[in-house]
Amino acid sequence: MSNKRKELIVSAIQNGTVIDHIPAESVFQVIRILGLDKTDKQVYFGINLDSKKYGRKGIIKISEKFFEKEEINKIALAAPSATLIEIRDFEVINKSDVHIPETIEKIVKCFNPNCITNHEAVGTKFRVFYDENNELKMACHYCEKNTSRANVVFV
């Protein structure tokens, strides 16, 4: 019986952020909404990795990148189970779960074609709530239309 290694070895990052516990089907969406497909920084990602907690997961490592609140809100909407791990000098300095805020501003498009935000230079604003099935919904501040997380289009 051989004792072969079963882990994939990926270079550690000196400074940057690891986004762990991303639902496997959301990895490319997270890459796109954060603009990581257009960055000149080193980006590592993995999809359908084994996870004791989630079964399958994705992970993204970005060198020399630390996320602002608006970017973290995008991650939370696309991947509510994600964990952010900040690395400085190869050491973990902060590890935190993402949380969907009560109000989402300027990162999601209103799906109502008649909404003022789709016709004028007005930033979108949504109130987050959960319906009777505990599904995340967002109510537009301007037109009051509700949309679900599944229908989210990022600005």
Q: Are 92 and 21 within one domain?
A: yes
> What does 94-146 look like in DSSP terms, one character per residue?
EEEE----SEEESSB--S-TTSGGGTSS---EEEEEE-TT--EEEEETTT--E
Tell me what the pLDDT averaged over the chain comes to.
91
Has residue 1 got a pLDDT over 60? no
Residue 81: other Cβ atoms inside 10 A? 16
Strand 125-130 relative to strand 103-105, pairing: antiparallel
**Domain of 146?**
103-151
Q: Are 83 and 128 within one domain?
A: no
Query: Running DSSP on this structure, what letter comes out for residue 14?
Result: S
pLDDT reported for residue 60: 96
Q: Are 34 and 73 within one domain?
A: yes
Residue 65: other Cβ atoms inside 10 A? 19
Residue 131: give its domain's CATH number: 2.30.30.20
- Structure confidence by residue, pLDDT tens digits, 77-131: 999 999 999 999 999 999 999 999 999 999 999 999 999 999 999 999 999 999 9
Where is the domain boundary, 53, 68, 97?
Answer: 97
pLDDT reported for residue 121: 92
Q: Give the residue-averaged pLDDT of 54-72.
A: 93
pLDDT reported for residue 51: 80
Provide the domain count of the chain.
2
Quote the pTM value.
0.84
Q: Residue 118: inside a domain, yes or no? A: yes
Q: Are 120 and 91 within one domain?
A: no
Query: Running DSSP on this structure, what letter comes out for residue 61?
Result: E
Count H helices, E strands: the chain? 2, 9
Where is the domain boundary, 52, 75, 97?
Answer: 97
pLDDT reported for residue 52: 81
Q: Residue 140: inside a domain, yes or no? A: yes
Q: Are 60 and 116 within one domain?
A: no
Has residue 144 got a pLDDT over 90? yes
C-alpha 86/C-alpha 93 separation (Å) is: 6
Has residue 2 got a pLDDT over 60? no
C-alpha 80/C-alpha 90 separation (Å) is: 26
pLDDT reported for residue 82: 96
pLDDT reported for residue 8: 60
Q: pLDDT band at 3, cuts 50/70/90?
A: low
Q: Give the residue-averaged pLDDT of 48-64.
A: 89
Residue 137 burial (10 A CB sphere; 0-12, 13-18, 19+):
middle
Q: What percent of the chain has pLDDT over 70?
A: 94
Residue 90 burial (10 A CB sphere; 0-12, 13-18, 19+):
exposed
